[in-house]
Structure 1
Amino acid sequence: MLTALRQKEKQIAVIGLGYVGLPLALAFARQFRVIGFDTNPDRITRLQRWEDPSRQIAAEAFEGADITFTANPDDLQQAHFFVVAVPTPVDDYKVPDLKPLQRASELIGRALKPGDYVVYESTVYPGCTEDDCLPVLIQQSGLRLGEEFKLGYSPERINPGDKVRTLTDILKVVSGSDTEAAQTIADVYGCIIRAGIYTAPSIKVAEAAKVIENVQRDLNISLMNELAIIFDKLGIDTQEVINAASTKWNFLPFTPGLVGGHCIGIDPYYLLYKARQLGYDPQVINSGRRINDGMPAFVATKLVQMLLHRDTNPAQTKVLVMGLTFKENIADIRNSKVADLVRELMKYAINVHVVDPYASPNEVAQTYNMSLLDSPSTQYDAVIVAVGHDAYRTLDIAYFKSLMKTAPILLDLKGLYAVRKDDEIDYWRL
């Protein structure tokens, strides 16, 4: 397989061209012939113009790449090594939504030929690749695993917005349905990953390793969020506590915050779902999720308390929220907890304005039924800086005061600003 790919006698197909699939497809296209497939024709049109809809990859990265972008499933017939990088969200009840994964498996199954490889990168619960995806491949193709095609799992480790730890500089975990599959998959990925390859002993181990990476982060952040709630009641600055505790060599300086996005805020629900299927109800993971999901309401309540403390009716106030994306310096608004914060504020009849230099106004309107302002207005009763965009880090207290009425309130959820007592601003941070 590797020799045929190198000689461009066979092609790689990457299914799903979002934050994970596009950089992967372009990296492969530096070495091999690649088919970049996505079901969204508008996305394909933009990619054909060397324009990344996610605004993460510059046009120069497309130059010289041996890649064909398509939304036509028939084009997948030309591929022999398939990589699945579609989203794996949860529904409104926090249950894994495997429909994108199942649709991708159906498309690949129809194009699968003897000797082909299928590798999944989408984050799932342990067992999903073999128990949920493999049967679809077999049903659609009529082929037998092992004898006629190979299966693998290699969890994505893309960190959106990170310009230092890019795809090729992050060690890659791979696995396969048998020893030969694992070795071939490792060899193919080894052609593009400079950081090295780690071969897991089984597909289930690789799946579990991926999901617990984000479960661990979720739990650590939930601990800091719970501590922030306690310290707020004690009248202690959480950041000052963390700074003091960080002087000990083995203290892990996690910080509190809103936990959204398509990884940390989603992946734990996949493990929770699988554990409950097995008759076990996880206590720690579930508690962490409950705390993190409750932070938007906590922040909204805190602001209302600050308004009431100065005899201000929340229903007669105007508040500016700065930042809506799930993390800094990216356009991704999926599972934005800032959107949840805005909804919580609206429950108190607060007039909320939202700005974000990265988010798409059309996408925000379609996803959350909210409007983005091009720029802030004035005469706000409070400003909430919710995302640590670089453009916000250079702002000073004078700027925020210029946006607000007398007795201004600034909620700094990312702890970006140093405020002095003589700044005459009511300042609070997580």
Structure 2
Amino acid sequence: MLNDLKQKKKQIAVIGLGYVGLPIALEFARQFRVIGYDSNPDRVAMLQRSEDPSRQLPADAFAGADITFTDNPDHLRQANFFVVAVPTPVDDYKVPDLKPLQRASEAIGLALKSGDYVVYESTVYPGCTEDDCLPLLEKYSGLTLGSDFKLGYSPERINPGDKVRTLADILKVVSGNDAEAAQTIADIYGCIIRAGIYVAPSIKVAEAAKVIENVQRDLNISLMNELAIIFDKMGIDTQEVLKAAATKWNFMPFTPGLVGGHCIGIDPYYLLYKARQLGYDPQVINSGRRINDGMPAYIATKLVQMLLQRDKSPRQTKVLVMGLTFKENIADIRNSKVADLVRELMKYAINVHVVDPHASPNEVAHEYRLTLMDRPSSQYDAIIVAVGHDEYKVLDVPYFKSLMNGAPILLDLKGLYSVQKDDEIQYWRL
């Protein structure tokens, strides 16, 4: 397979061209022929113009890439090595939504030929690749795993917005349905990953390794959020506590905050779902999710208390929320907990304005039915800096005061600013 790919007798197809799939497709396309498939025709049209819809990659990242972008699943028949990088969200009830994965598996099944490889990168619960995806591949192809085609799983580890630890610089975990599959997949990925390859002993181990990466971070952040709630009741600055604790060599430097996005805020539900299927209700994982999901309501309640302490009726106040993306310096708004915070504020009949230099107004309107303003107005009763965009890090107290009326309140959820008592602004941070 590898030699045929190098000689461009065979092709790689990447299914799903979001923040995970596109970098993989382009990196492969520097050495191999690649078909980049996405079911969204608008996204494909942008990619054909060398525009990244996620706004993570510049136009020159497309230069020299031997890649064809398409939304026609029939074109997948030309490929022999399939990489699946579609989203794996949860529904409104926090139940895994496998529809994108199932549709991708069906499309590949219709294109699958004897000797082909299929590698899944989408984050799932252990067993999903073999129990949920494989039957679809075999059903729609009429082929049998092992004797006809090979299967693998290689969890994505891309960190959106990270310009230092890029795809090629993050060690890649791979696995296969047998030793031959694992080695071939390792060799192919090894052509584009500088950091090295780790071959997991089974597909389930690779799946489990990925999902617990984000479960671990979720739990650590939930601990920080719970500590922030406790210390706030004590009148102690959590950031100062963490700074002091970090002087010990083995203290882990996690910080409190809103936990959104499509990894940390989603992946634990996949493991929770599978565990409950097996008759076990995880206590620690579920507790961490409950704390982190409850932070928007906690912050909204905190602001209302501060408004009331200053004799401001929530119904007669105007609040500015700065930042809506799920993390700093990216355009991705999926599973934004800032949107949840805005909704919590609106429950108190607060007039909320939202700005974000990176988010798309059209996407915000479509996803959350919220209006993104071009720029802040004035006479705000309070401002919440919710995302640590670089554009916000350079702001200062006089700037915020210029946007607010009497008795100004500043909530700094990312701990970006140093505010003194004589600055005449009520300041709070997690």
* TM-score tier after normalising by the smaller chain length: over 0.9
Letter of the aligned partner of 2:246 in structure 1? S
Q: Give the CA deviation at 1:99.
A: 0.2
Within 5 Å, give how 1:1-40 maps onto structure 2.
1-40=1-40
- Number of the residue aligned with 2:219: 219
Partner SS state of residue 176, structure 1 = coil
Partner SS state of residue 87, structure 1 = coil
- Number of the residue aligned with 1:362: 362
Cα displacement string for residues 375-402 of structure 1 (whole angstroms, at most 9, x for unaligned residues): 0000000000000000000000000000
- Number of the residue aligned with 1:327: 327
Cα displacement string for residues 169-199 of structure 1 (whole angstroms, at most 9, x for unaligned residues): 0000000000000000000000000000000
- Number of the residue aligned with 1:161: 161
Letter of the aligned partner of 1:219 in structure 2? L
Q: Give the CA deviation at 1:422.
A: 1.2
- Number of the residue aligned with 1:254: 254
Q: 2 CA distance for matches of 1:310 and 1:261?
A: 34
- Number of the residue aligned with 1:72: 72
- Number of the residue aligned with 2:421: 421
Within 5 Å, give how 1:328-347 maps onto structure 2.
328-347=328-347
- Number of the residue aligned with 2:267: 267
- RMSD over equivalenced CA pairs, Å: 0.3
Q: 2 CA distance for matches of 1:310 and 1:409?
A: 9
- Number of the residue aligned with 1:106: 106
Q: 1 CA distance for matches of 2:323 and 2:68?
A: 35
- Number of the residue aligned with 1:183: 183
* Residue 377 in structure 1 maps to residue 377 in structure 2: yes
Q: Give the CA deviation at 1:45.
A: 0.5
Ranges in structure 2 where 5+ consecutive residues have no aligned partner: none
Q: Give the CA deviation at 1:355.
A: 0.1
Q: 2 CA distance for matches of 1:381 and 1:389?
A: 22
- Number of the residue aligned with 1:84: 84
- Number of the residue aligned with 1:282: 282
Structure 1 residue runs of 4+, over 6 Å off? Answer: none
Partner SS state of residue 110, structure 2 = helix
Partner SS state of residue 269, structure 1 = helix
Within 5 Å, give how 1:309-328 maps onto structure 2.
309-328=309-328
TM-score w.r.t. the length of structure 1 is: 1.00
- Number of the residue aligned with 2:151: 151
Letter of the aligned partner of 1:60 in structure 2? D
TM-score w.r.t. the length of structure 2 is: 1.00
Q: 2 CA distance for matches of 1:151 and 1:312?
A: 61
Partner SS state of residue 335, structure 2 = coil
Partner SS state of residue 23, structure 2 = helix
Within 5 Å, give how 1:127-138 maps onto structure 2.
127-138=127-138
Q: Give the CA deviation at 1:14.
A: 0.0
Ranges in structure 1 where 5+ consecutive residues have no aligned partner: none
Q: 2 CA distance for matches of 1:293 and 1:203?
A: 30
Partner SS state of residue 405, structure 1 = strand
Q: 2 CA distance for matches of 1:338 and 1:31?
A: 40
Q: 1 CA distance for matches of 2:247 and 2:62?
A: 45
Letter of the aligned partner of 2:14 in structure 1? V
Q: 2 CA distance for matches of 1:407 and 1:316?
A: 14
